[in-house]
Structure 1
Amino acid sequence: METTLPQVTQWKVAPLIIIFAILPTYAAPPVPSSPQEVAKNVEFDSSFLNIGEGNSIDLSRFANGASVFPGVYRTDIYVNDRMIGNYNLEIKSAANNTIVPCINQEILKNIAFDYEKLPSDFLTKEDKSCPNLQNALKDAVVFYDSNEQRLNITVPQIYMLRTARGSVSQEMWDSGVPALLLGYTTNVYSSESNGADYKSFYASLTAGLNLGAWYLRHNGNYNWIQDGTKKYNTTNTYLQRDIPSVRGRALIGQANTQGLLFDTVPFTGVQLASDERMLPDSLRGYAPQIRGIARSNARVTIRQSDQIIYETTVTPGEFLINDLYPTGYGGNLDVTVREADGSEQTFQVPYAAVTQLLRPGNNRYSMTAGKLRSTSLREDPALYQATWQRGLTNSLTGYGGVQASQNYYAVQLGTALGTNVGAFALDVTQARTHLGSSDSHADNAMSGQSYQVSYSKTVSATSSTISLAAYRFSTSGYMDLLTAMQTREAVNDGLSTESIWRAKNRFIVTASQGLPDNWGQIYLSSSLQNYWNQGGDSKQYQLGYNTTYKRLTWGLSVNRSYSLYGQTQNNYLLNFSLPLGNSGMTHVPQLRVDLSHNTRGRYAEQATLNGNAGEENQYSYGVSATNANQGSGTSGSVNGSWRSSIAWLNANYSQGSGYHSTSAGISGTVIGHTGGITLTPYTSDTFALVEAKGAYGAKVSSYPGVYVDRAGYAAVPYLNPYKLNEIVLDPKGIPPEVELENTSQKVAPYSGAVVKLSYGTRQGTALLINATYNHVPVAFGAEVIDSKGNHVGTVGQGGQIYARVQDEKGRLHVKWGSGPEMQCTLSYILMPRAKNAKYTALQRFNSTCESPNKSSGSKQLASSNAPDSDVNS
């Protein structure tokens, strides 16, 4: 019969108590740091246990390291120190009281074997019900760590496929359970200014239905204005499904194009596009490949700005490192190869990135077919678009795309290049628009080109960064898709082509420079936009400086803007920020002061105090006061929010010269599933649904405010798709009559999934029994089994047994050896419980454990019936 593991926090300790309490007959080796180091055939002297004459205990189970009793245990499976999943693992007994973990077919298929390298009879020579990997594969090692409930499998690298760091097998991706989702954000606003009232209500909704791997989504909002608009607006509605084999997602309905090469536009139709999140972190974005040659078993260390970002050991010969994590816009990499004889060789690899750069062999793609969807157009013209990017070499990426509609097409070709002086991207787009109606153009069409160059560079030695510099020039006949469709409608209405603005130049740059000796940082940003058929330039420049002196952070910025109509304005801002308390204090409020001035003569001073309160920062507050000239006078506001277990609530009140306003809002998500309805204060797209029946009040670690509700469920937000997310339950605070069988699980969800994680619970009355056999305490370390054959505990010091039972009365079987003289049975009868009692107390009593061949009755004496708050600690 399969048995399940009792509460993790209780029973992990028992084998440790036994092992450290037993003294070996010779000097024991150190605690093993790996499976290979486990001591073999250790002999223990049970006389040190003080168990009395005639009560010897069979300790052979512990002669070859820590052991567990046969049964089924929820276990983390690690292969070569990389987790492949969390499974129900069956443990069976073998010869000499050793244990054998049964690595079933479900576990085997998730091990990344290189099947071409495996022996031909690898999966056929062993018993399919309980394969023994150590016998089936030479030099494989299987080691069960009972303290961590972890199975460590070591497989020689020759039998394994090479996988990138952070890889999660697609077999582990979880599409989730059927669920209904409704995310909401609402706000009510009311104001009075100079005797005039204004009231409004706004609600944003995100609804979803998950069935298998198909996810239906709808986004919309309702806007109500007193004596004005009262309308529900649909943002989009679509059905999507992940296709892991192409690392992409299929979508049908209303959505937006990705905007990687062409501008983002809304559409109604179908789309197939890659999702880079399906790659492990070490293969996303761009990072250069590192190639070199090692003369021996060498250690390779890679540094960026004197910080180690990667280190590994390589075998003699040529090596390749292609799984570096991307590090922003770059900074050259310093590579050190330390040989076995202590000699070193160093070289540098340039690293600068623009968004178009990809690693060698990586691809990004998208294909869209449907209709353009825009509120600026009366009709919805056709839209066909395809884009593709591919990393060609370590420093070269090629990309291109095509976009088409009625009487319009655009073709783009480009390349991205990484060099010692930075990363560049260069592309050209050819577009042609057929205008439809006759005008001054003889060929009734306009065509042109758009040229774009972008640049990025980080100089670590001088702390200089140009994070983005992009310049685009378009000829007079060039139009992007949306501009072309607007121009066609204007021409059809009898207007000139000049009525729709056509872009000419567009320039954007962002740069920063760190100053020496912690003097702070200077930053600069600038943008420019002008048009062929509109005079003037739209320009904006911003220059700023910020630094920290002790605990005071302050900054100064200057912003200058030019409008298309020749208007110029300068804005100056000086700000200070200071925590009002010591760094070691909790809930330290933050004071911020802003002083602003512009060239139109406006001055303003604002002071704001913000902070949090509560054990989990579930309360937040803010108070601000503002004073300004030009008739604004003095004003003030106060706001607060509360993150409850089911929703997030906020409120705000402000008052100034001749006006006051009030607003309040609530947000959260409602999830409907087969077990009922679960509420959460968070809005997210990907959830874990925790099921732990009876564990009301258990906290989900690392997720503030997420607790198991009275129905036994909790919704955990913000899961990272396609990556392992660990969900840990803290049993503190759950009812004392409940124990958790497991407290930690890992899951890799699809994007948009609601994945269900079930945490087993045991409910019943906790017993603490002082058991004796032949007038002496029952043997320390003996196994305790209930009437259903479930292992429920181990005898502790002085014959004490801790067990949890569900029946009002019953028997427990105690076994410390194979012979009948090394077994006994004791009976229990629970003390009466007060009617409507909120919890079941720990019941203590003394009992005599009798031999199986004697009468089944046993004497029981209740000595205490007091609650014990430490039962579930």
Structure 2
Amino acid sequence: MLRTTRWVAAIIFLYSFPGYAEETFDTHFMIGGMRGKKVSEYRFDNKQPLPGNYELDVYVNHQWRGKQDITIPESPAKPCLPKVLLTTLGVKTDNLNTEDNCILLDEAVHGGQYQWDISEHRLNLTIPQAYINELERGYVPPESWDRGIDAFYTSYNLSQYRSYDSNNNSNTASYGRFNSGLNLFSWQLHSDASYSKPDDMKGTWQSNTLYLERGWSQILSTVQIGENYTSSLIFDSLRFSGIRLFRDMQMLPDSMQSFTPLVQGVAQSIALITVSQNGYIIYQKEVPPGPFTIADLQLSGSGSDLDVSIKEADGSVRSFLVPYSSVPNMLQPGVSNFDFIAGRSKIYGVKNQEDFLEANYIYGLNNLLTLYGGTILSDNYNAITLGNGWNTPLGAISFDATDRVVS
């Protein structure tokens, strides 16, 4: 009997094997729309999060762009990015003709990629550099501008001159200049006035400029109303009384206030872009795979070409040359400058003043060509100017022609 028991135990041991039971979860413990559904329909890992709304740290090309509310639809499990959010993240949306609240990244940007890290509440977006609105170092975007406080200010310069002749008779002249302003309700009042009093004569006040001004950040412009001077953008400057709307170039990043060429290319991998001028490295940046555009160069001088090298992840290097020379009125590709004026001339010493309209416009077409034109219209004087500036390998050249009609 004992021998039989040993054989049975041996047989049981020989035929034993591990068994695994499938994990189950009673969804009746869950509430809301999940009650009674199959848990296998949902993903419990960091790579594919559950559908719903999340507040995540969003990184674009390894740069933190803030905490954002991200929606994950049922299918596909990709992040929904409204157009307004893409703009906030710095993605170019000019060619995106939709206001849909659920735009998939690969629909908005060719070559765009995303990666979840739900354990860190993080969404990583990789976007080709050419589709990103890069913020130049030191530049503050319009939505962060502050109009300042309501205040009055003034600065002045006072002087008095006294001379004596051979008979010890004195001659005294007094002069004062006052530059004052008032900031109130987002408007600024500017005044430039002077007071002069020759000896034994009545003192006189003279106003040089007196105008109201307000910045218009939506179009990066400023509007002025009152007595001021026209710009010398294309035509000669003159004093006038009226209204003026112009592009305020100080609202743009430093690199866009004058002509600098765009450096464009395609990176085959994560690449290091190096820009040199006169043998000195003036710019260096790492870019993701895909097309890239470098628009925030700050160059010294106006006649030295740019040497550009692209060093790929495998160590290979490609180089090319970007011609660079400029003349006045040239602008970076895609940048425009304008100045519109309606008013009446106030030229000192001229008896018959005239109402007039003046319009000036400059546009950087590409790395080689900037176009500009302007016109003045009045009853007795009309003028029109058309011109262009060329950036060529041989240097910068500017041509313009003006037609005037005087009656």
TM-score by length of 1: 0.33
Q: Which residue of 2 aligns with 1:311?
A: 284
Matches for 1:615-634 after TM superposition, within 5 Å = none
The 5 A counterparts of 1:234-245 are 234-245=207-218
2:330 aligned counterpart, secondary structure: coil
Q: Distance in 2 between matches of 1:139 and 1:207?
A: 56
Pairing of 1:217-228 with structure 2 (within 5 A): 217-228=190-201
Distance verdict in 2 for CA 1:230–1:110, change over 3 Å: farther
CA distance in 2 between counterparts of 1:405 and 1:119 reads: 50
How far did 1:158 drift?
4.4
For the pair 1:170 / 2:147, whether they are aligned, the reply is: no
- The 1:308/1:193 distance shift into structure 2, 3 A limit, reads farther
Counterpart AA for 2:224: L
**1:112 pairs with 2:83:** no
- Tell me which residue corresponds to 1:187: 159
Contact 2:61-2:127 within 8 A present in 1 as well = no
Relative to structure 1, the CA distance from residue 84 to residue 263 in structure 2 (aligned partners, 3 Å threshold; closer, same or farther) is farther
**Which residue of 2 is the match for residue 432 of structure 1?**
405
Q: Which amino acid aligns with 1:391?
A: G
How far does the alpha carbon of each residue in 1:738-781 deviate from its partner, in whole angstroms, 9 at most, with x for none?
xxxxxxxxxxxxxxxxxxxxxxxxxxxxxxxxxxxxxxxxxxxx
Distance 1:244 1:112 in 2: 19
The answer on whether the counterparts of 2:174 and 2:197 sit within 8 Å (CA) in structure 1 is yes
SS in 2 for 1:174: coil
- Give 1:228 shift: 4.4
Q: How does 1:766-805 map to 2 (within 5 A)?
A: none
Partners of 2:63 and 2:159 in 1: CA distance: 46
Q: Which runs of 5+ in 1 are unaligned?
A: 1-77, 86-107, 122-136, 144-152, 435-873
**Percent of aligned pairs with the same amino acid:** 32
The whole-number CA distance in structure 1 between the counterparts of 2:218 and 2:249 is 13
Deviation, 1:206, is 1.7
Q: What SS does the aligned partner of 1:245 have?
A: helix
CA distance in 2, matches of 1:352, 1:374: 37
Which residue of 1 is the match for residue 235 of structure 2? 262
1:556-705 counterparts in 2 under 5 A? none
Moved over 6 A (4+): 78-85, 115-119, 140-143
The counterpart of 1:359, out of the listed 329, 332, 336, is 332
Determine the C-alpha separation between the residues in 2 that align with 1:270 and 1:244.
18
Aligned counterpart for 1:399 among listed residues 359, 372, 382? 372
Structure 1 residues 83-102: aligned runs within 5 Å: none
- Does the CA contact (< 8 Å) of 1:294 and 1:317 recur in 2? yes
Instruction: Tell me the distance in 1 between the aligned counterparts of 2:64 and 2:188.
Output: 28
Amino acid at match of 2:395: G
Structure 2 residue 201 is matched with structure 1 residue 205: no
Count of equivalent residues: 312
Distance 1:109 1:188, change over 3 A: farther
Task: Give the direction of change, closer, same or farther, for the CA distance of 1:360–1:178 in structure 2 (3 Å limit).
Answer: same
Equivalent positions of 1:115-514 (< 5 A) are 120=102, 138-139=116-117, 156-158=125-127, 161-166=132-137, 167-192=139-164, 194=166, 195-228=168-201, 230-434=203-407
Kindly report the root-mean-square deviation, in angstroms, between the aligned alpha carbons of the 2 structures: 3.4
- Deviation of 1:426 after TM superposition, in Å, equals 0.6
Tell me the amino acid that sits aligned with residue 135 of structure 2: A
SS, match of residue 168 in structure 1: coil
Does the Cα contact within 8 Å between 1:388 and 1:400 map onto a contact in 2? yes
> In 2, are the aligned partners of 1:139 and 1:156 still within 8 Å (CA)?
no
Cα 1:187–1:156 change in 2 (3 A) is farther
Q: What is the rounded CA distance, in whole Å, between the counterparts of 1:277 and 1:403 in structure 2? A: 25
Distance in 2, matches of 1:222 and 1:306, equals 55
Provide the rounded CA distance (Å) in 2 between the counterparts of 1:302 and 1:330.
Answer: 15
CA contact (8 A) 1:285 1:326 kept: no
Q: Displacement of 1:241 after TM fit? A: 1.1
AA matched with 2:212 = L
CA deviation map 1:589-648 (0-9, x unaligned): xxxxxxxxxxxxxxxxxxxxxxxxxxxxxxxxxxxxxxxxxxxxxxxxxxxxxxxxxxxx
- Quote how far apart the aligned CAs of 1:191 are: 3.7
State how far apart, in whole Å, the 2-side matches of 1:141 and 1:178 are. 48
| 1:832-847 alignment, distance < 5 Å | none
Amino acid at match of 2:156: Y
SS in 2 for 1:379: coil
Contact 2:324 2:391 in 1 (8 A): yes
* Distance in structure 1 (CA, Å) of the matches to 2:152 and 2:133: 39
Three-state SS of the structure 2 residue aligned to 1:171 is helix
Distance in 1 of aligned mates of 2:292 and 2:356: 46
Residue deviations 1:167-224 (CA, integer Å, cap 9, x gap): 4221111112221222222223334454453322221112222122211111101112
CA gap of 1:375–1:345, structure 2 versus 1, over 3 A, is same
In structure 2, do the counterparts of structure 1 residues 228 and 140 end up closer, same or farther at CA, with 3 Å as the change threshold? farther
Match of 2:352, SS state, is: coil
Mapped to 2, the partners of 1:141 and 1:248 lie a distance apart of 45
In the TM superposition, residue 139 of structure 1 has moved relative to its aligned partner by 4.2
1:243·1:250 contact (CA, 8 Å) conserved in 2?
A: yes
Q: 1:79, 1:178 → 2: CA distance?
A: 38
In structure 2, distance between residues paired with 1:218 and 1:416 = 36
Counterparts in 2 of 1:82 and 1:304: CA distance versus 1, 3 Å: same
Change (3 A) 1:216 1:176: same
* Cα deviation digits, residues 89-123 of structure 1 (max 9, x gap): xxxxxxxxxxxxxxxxxxx99953559999959xx
Confirm or deny: 8 A CA contact 2:126 2:288 kept in the other structure: no
Hey, what's the Cα distance between the residues in 1 that align with 2:270 and 2:134?
A: 21
Q: Deviations over 1:465-523 (max 9, x none)?
A: xxxxxxxxxxxxxxxxxxxxxxxxxxxxxxxxxxxxxxxxxxxxxxxxxxxxxxxxxxx
Answer whether contact 1:302 1:308 (CA < 8 A) is retained.
yes
Alignment of structure 1 residues 47-66 onto 2, 5 Å: none
The one-letter amino acid paired with 1:176 is G
Relative to structure 1, is the Cα distance of residues 303 and 172 closer, same or farther in structure 2, using a 3 angstrom cutoff?
Answer: same
Q: State the alpha-carbon separation in 2 of the partners of residues 192 and 425 from structure 1.
A: 55
When residues 140 and 205 of structure 1 are mapped into structure 2, their CA distance, relative to the original with a 3 A threshold, is farther
Residues 177 and 141 of structure 1, relative CA distance in 2, 3 Å threshold: farther
Q: Does structure 2 retain, via aligned residues, the 8 Å contact 1:284–1:325? A: no
Q: Which has the higher strand share?
A: 1
* Cα offset, 1:271, TM superposition: 0.8
What TM-score results when the alignment is normalised by the length of structure 2? 0.68
Deviation at 1:287, TM superposition (A): 0.4
Structure-2 change in CA distance of 1:217 and 1:322 (3 Å):
same
SS in 1 for 2:334: coil
In 2: Cα distance, 1:204 partner to 1:326 partner: 38
Name the CA shift for 1:180/1:155 in 2 (closer, same or farther; >3 Å). farther
Contact conserved, 2:162 with 2:170, CA < 8 A, in 1? Answer: yes
Quick check: 1:80–1:154 contact (8 Å CA) kept in 2? no
